[in-house]
Amino acid sequence: MPSSGTQTYHHGDLRSALLDAAANRIENQGIEGLSLRKLADDVGVSRSALYHHFRDKNALLNAVAANGFASWIAMTSESGGDESVPAPVRMKQFVYGYVHWAVEHPQLYDLMFGRPIWKNDLADDELKDVAYPAFQYMLSLITHWQQQGLLLADKPALRQTQVIWATLHGLAKLVTDGVYADSSHIDEMCDCAVNMLLPSVN
């Protein structure tokens, strides 16, 4: 059976099969628990078949993270794009959406925004091409808020974006890392963050 997918040799579509299996394993066992050999077993293929589709383990993780950014962007633009909803409500929705998405995909969030990839400059071009627009989207969103007078204009929008993002990222991290043990208070923490950072939403 030839032309069914993009790659239709022995396996059919090994590349995306590996990506799916990797995403599954990461969601369940985390990045530390991901071994290429177990992965090959999951897909029913030999241990080094993978190297014909990814240069090495890092390249595979990059691809999984890239997929994560794609679905992150889908989530974000959905919750922030509806112009019929008043801006203050949208701001609150954005905060809730951000933190909840991280809490619902803790391992993936960790892979996307965590240090192993970014710290050591291990992100390849494909990943950067998806990740940078995500950063940029937040900046444009918050710049828009500032222009509408929802934020104080005494500091550059870039800095305010960095601080707001830091707060969201910090909340997400502290919750998903289990430092804030009682995650039942996520909504209250989000409320408080909105209250402190976004004076126009009271």
Partner DNA sequence: TCTTTATCTTGACAGTGTCAAATTATACGC
Partner DNA sequence: GCGTATAATTTGACACTGTCAAGATAAAGA
Q: Which does 10 bind (CB under 5 to 8 A by kind): a copy of itself, DNA, none?
A: DNA
The dihedral of CA 48, 53, 55, 56: what is its sign? negative
Closer of 108 and 171 to DNA (Cβ):
108
Q: 149 — phi, psi (to 5°)?
A: 80, 15
Per-residue binder mask for DNA (CB under 7 A), 43-82, x = binder: --xxxxx-xxx--xxx------------------------
Instruction: Give the rounded distance of the alpha carbon of 39 from its chain centre.
Output: 22
Reading the block at residue 56, the tokens are: 């090495």
> Which positions from 4 to 43 touch DNA by CB under 7 A, shown as an x/- string?
---xxxxxx-x-------------------xxxxx-x---
Rounded Cα–Cα distance for residues 76 and 174 (Å): 21
Q: From the list a copy of itself, DNA, none, which binds 134 (C-beta under 5 to 8 Å, kind-based)?
A: none
For 45, other C-beta atoms within 10 Å of its C-beta total 17
| 82 interacts with, out of DNA, a copy of itself, none, CB within 5 to 8 A per kind | none
Number of residues that bind DNA (CB under 7 A): 26
Q: Where are the beta strands (DSSP E) in the chain?
A: none
